[in-house]
Amino acid sequence: MWKDADKPDQSQTLLIDIPDVAASNITEQKKKDLLGLPNITEKEIRQMNTFFQPYIFYHKISKNETECFCTACNRSFIVNTTLYHKTPEICLHCRTTATAIAAGFSQKDKTETINFVLFKKHKTKDIVYAICLNAGKRYNGDYRNWYNRLRICGKDFLRQPDLECDVLKIYVFKPGECRVYRRQYSYHDNKIKWIYTIVKKKIPQAFSATMYKPADKIILNKELLFKTHLKYYAKALPLALSDRLVEWLNLCSLYPIAEIAAKSKSTTIQRIVQDRLCYDISYLDIVNWKAKKPKDFLKISLNELKEFEQRSNKAYSLKTLEVFARHKKKGEKLSFDLCQYECNLMNYDYNYKEIMKIIDIKMLWNYKKRQQKNGTWKGERTYLDYLDHAQKCGYDLAQSNILYPRDIQQAHDDAVANWQIVRAEAEKKEAEREALKYGYPERYKKLCKKYAFEYGDLTIVVPKLASEIIDEGRILQHCVGGYASRHIQGKTTILFLRHKNEPEKPYYTIEIDEGERRLIQCHGFKNEWENKKAEEVKAFEKEFAKFIKSPKKYKAERKDEECRKSA
């Protein structure tokens, strides 16, 4: 027998917890806000229940009788006809048309959740609450045995298709202020308790969308607002923001000027309000949210706003207006074209604030036109890259001819080349300091003695300084320069392969593993991507590998071979 909601001894079980303001973790401020929060009535629960998909679960109890249970009204009834799975049926109690579902295995995976916002009013004080809760129904219980119980948080609940409600946030609206509380679980003294934390974000979202479900919500008791201090705010809600009533009331409670601004015919002002509500963008350079009069809301004149809106067909963003207001505050009058150009510079991967301290946007704009006329302008990225390298090289950018060179492309290439020289010198100095730190001079002498080897016209040269390894990589255009530090620290060993008659000219570079006594790699210009490895180098590699494997044995074999040749 299923449990009926209308029987007095089987009252509907609601898995919902209204905050216990007497809990030890509640501060005085929270008590003032949450004390007197009305409970959710059974009528409101039934109202929420109407938004869920109705089902009629059925099972045969005899040959001619079928017991049914309606999830719309939570009542059971018996019919003398045969029901069929997933067919529409009418409940005999509430007359709701529902989908018939065979009780048993097919009902186990049927779950449904909906976000609700429930407005409640304090009995005596001028306080309005917005309870944001997630209500769900699950149908995986055994409805033929209503004694089957489910234990949750130390309490027994009957497994039945009643609403399971979880309060997520509580908005507390008072005249001129709004606080938002988030409810969370806490395990303390071997008990699960609720803790209430104030949301620091001024205008938080009532629900957060996830990859599993959207943040859609259903608002209940909206008519209650028109009997409170929030009635004017509720009436002023823009049609485009109809699904954000809670956040809108939050915004207007903190900044009453938002209500007047939303009624403005200016599309720009409406966009500012929507961005503040939806994306928490303040635009503090354009507007004053704490203003009490409409004339004090904008930090620009109405004529300037009108001009901006007339030019907005050029895809000007609100960021453009923000840049305009920022320059106006400094006493600079810029056109919207220049402000938009400055916004475009922000999109490049450079330190925008530091760059703007150096350049003047008007002079840069005129400089760009001159360079375009001469055919030397390659884009803003080239110019910004030039400034970046010029700063690193220590150029005096206070001089106009350096800040705005005659040929930007040539100046860019020269600055990059100079920076490479400066960086190489810095790397050399750092490598030399590192060599002294790890005692490389002593290791250098040992390496020269250990790897003194010649074969044919080729010989081994040991790098004396880390800078020599860096130069080797730069000249041969391979990656050995990055091995300089490891060589100095003794983590690997780098050797140079040179011609006997040109010991200073880079030819090939060798890396060996002293622990395993083996040759790891031997590469020349660009790692031989364009040309094959020389035959003399291949022959040298083969002999040198034998040498490092067993130097004494190799020298003895070479000596015997020379003796045989001389005989």
Q: DSSP letters along 202-263, please?
A: SS--SS---SSS----EEE-GGGGGGSTTHHHHHT--GGGTT-HHHHHHHHHH-THHHHHHT
Q: What is the mean pLDDT of residues 436-453?
A: 88
Residue 252 lies in a domain: no
pLDDT of residue 14: 42
Please indicate, yes or no, whether residues 391 and 504 belong to a single structural domain of this protein: no
> For residue 443, what are the β-bridge partners?
none
pLDDT of residue 471: 85
The yes-or-no verdict on residue 435 having pLDDT over 50 is yes
Please indicate, yes or no, whether residues 538 and 413 belong to a single structural domain of this protein: no
Confidence of residue 117 (pLDDT cuts 50, 70, 90): very high
Of 435, 463, 483, which closes a domain? Answer: 435
User: Hunting for tokens 């009331």 — which residue is that?
Assistant: 249
Cα(250)–Cα(177) distance, rounded to whole angstroms? 8
Cα(481)–Cα(474) distance, rounded to whole angstroms? 7
Residue 292 lies in a domain: no
Of 321, 338, 318, 317, which Cα lies nearest the Cα of 329?
321
pLDDT of residue 162: 67
> For residue 349, what are the β-bridge partners?
none
Cα-Cα-Cα-Cα dihedral of 39, 45, 51, 57, to 10°? 150
CA 480 to chain centre: 37
The yes-or-no verdict on residue 523 having pLDDT over 80 is yes
Residue 370 lies in a domain: yes
The yes-or-no verdict on residue 544 having pLDDT over 80 is yes
Please indicate, yes or no, whether residues 374 and 518 belong to a single structural domain of this protein: no
Please indicate, yes or no, whether residues 484 and 406 belong to a single structural domain of this protein: no
Of 435, 460, 493, which closes a domain? Answer: 435
Confidence of residue 355 (pLDDT cuts 50, 70, 90): confident
- Dmax (CA) for the chain in angstroms is 122
Tell me the average pLDDT of the chain: 82
What tokens were used for 268? 């720009």
Of 171, 202, 219, which closes a domain? Answer: 219
The yes-or-no verdict on residue 41 having pLDDT over 70 is yes
- By the 8 A CB rule, do 5 and 73 touch? yes
**Reduced to 3 states, what is the DSSP secondary structure of residue 487?**
helix
pLDDT of residue 254: 92
Please indicate, yes or no, whether residues 14 and 67 belong to a single structural domain of this protein: yes
Please indicate, yes or no, whether residues 91 and 139 belong to a single structural domain of this protein: yes
Residue 211 lies in a domain: yes
Cα(448)–Cα(462) distance, rounded to whole angstroms? 6
Cα(17)–Cα(19) distance, rounded to whole angstroms? 6
The yes-or-no verdict on residue 132 having pLDDT over 70 is yes
Of 227, 228, 292, which Cα lies nearest the Cα of 256?
292
> What are all long-range contacts of 32-38, with beta carbons under 8 Å and residues at least 24 apart?
33/127, 33/172, 33/179, 33/181, 34/170, 34/172, 34/181, 34/196, 36/122, 36/123, 36/124, 36/125, 36/127, 37/120, 37/122, 37/129, 37/170, 38/120, 38/121, 38/122, 38/123, 38/129
Please indicate, yes or no, whether residues 477 and 544 belong to a single structural domain of this protein: yes
User: Hunting for tokens 């629960």 — which residue is that?
Assistant: 45
Domains identified in the chain, total number: 3
Q: What is the mean pLDDT of residues 475-480?
A: 87
Please indicate, yes or no, whether residues 73 and 156 belong to a single structural domain of this protein: yes
Residue 96 lies in a domain: yes
- By the 8 A CB rule, do 361 and 338 touch? yes
User: Hunting for tokens 């069929």 — which residue is that?
Assistant: 84
Of 446, 448, 460, 447, which Cα lies nearest the Cα of 540?
460
Continuous segment of H or E residues that includes residue 171: strand 164-174
Q: Which residues have C-beta within 8 Å of that of residue 346, sequence separation ≥ 6?
A: 319, 352
pLDDT of residue 350: 66
pLDDT of residue 210: 66
Residue 340 lies in a domain: no
What domain range is 117 assigned to?
Answer: 8-219
pLDDT of residue 107: 60
Q: What is the pLDDT of residues 238-263, one digit of tens each?
A: 887 888 899 999 999 999 999 999 88
pLDDT of residue 143: 46
Please indicate, yes or no, whether residues 144 and 157 belong to a single structural domain of this protein: yes
Confidence of residue 153 (pLDDT cuts 50, 70, 90): very low
Of 495, 477, 479, which Cα lies nearest the Cα of 531?
477
Percent of the chain with pLDDT over 70: 86
Please indicate, yes or no, whether residues 38 and 70 belong to a single structural domain of this protein: yes
Cα(271)–Cα(276) distance, rounded to whole angstroms? 9
| Position with higher pLDDT, 149 vs 383 | 383
Please indicate, yes or no, whether residues 393 and 535 belong to a single structural domain of this protein: no
Which has the minimum average pLDDT: 69-73, 162-166, 366-370? Answer: 162-166
Q: The sheet that has 66-70: what strands, in order across it? A: 75-79, 66-70, 55-60, 97-102, 88-90
> Residue 196, class by beta-carbon neighbours within 10 Å (0-12 exposed, 13-18 middle, 19+ buried)?
buried
Which has the minimum average pLDDT: 292-306, 420-434, 444-458? Answer: 420-434
Cα(140)–Cα(111) distance, rounded to whole angstroms? 8
Q: Which residues have C-beta within 8 Å of that of residue 279, sequence separation ≥ 6?
A: none
User: Hunting for tokens 């049927």 — which residue is that?
Assistant: 110
Q: What is the pLDDT of residues 381-409, one digit of tens each?
A: 888 888 888 888 888 888 888 989 988 88
Residue 415 lies in a domain: yes
Please indicate, yes or no, whether residues 161 and 37 belong to a single structural domain of this protein: yes
pLDDT of residue 497: 93
Q: DSSP letters along 13-41, please?
A: P-B-----TTSTT--HHHHHHHTTPPPPP
Q: What is the pLDDT of residues 60-109, one digit of tens each?
A: 888 888 888 888 887 888 999 888 888 999 999 889 999 998 877 556 56
Residue 453 lies in a domain: yes
Which one-letter DSSP state was computed for residue 552?
Answer: H
Cα(443)–Cα(441) distance, rounded to whole angstroms? 5
- By the 8 A CB rule, do 397 and 390 touch? yes
Which one-letter DSSP state was computed for residue 527?
Answer: G
Q: What is the mean pLDDT of residues 352-365?
A: 83
pTM of the model: 0.66
pLDDT of residue 212: 57
Q: Which residues have C-beta within 8 Å of that of residue 86, sequence separation ≥ 6?
A: 99, 100, 101
User: What are phi and psi for residue 492, nearest 5 degrees?
Assistant: -150, 175
The DSSP bridge pattern shows strands 66-70 and 55-60 to be antiparallel
pLDDT of residue 141: 56
The DSSP bridge pattern shows strands 88-90 and 97-102 to be antiparallel
Q: Which residues have C-beta within 8 Å of that of residue 204, sequence separation ≥ 6?
A: 169, 180, 247, 250
Q: Where are the beta strands (DSSP E) in 267-413?
A: none
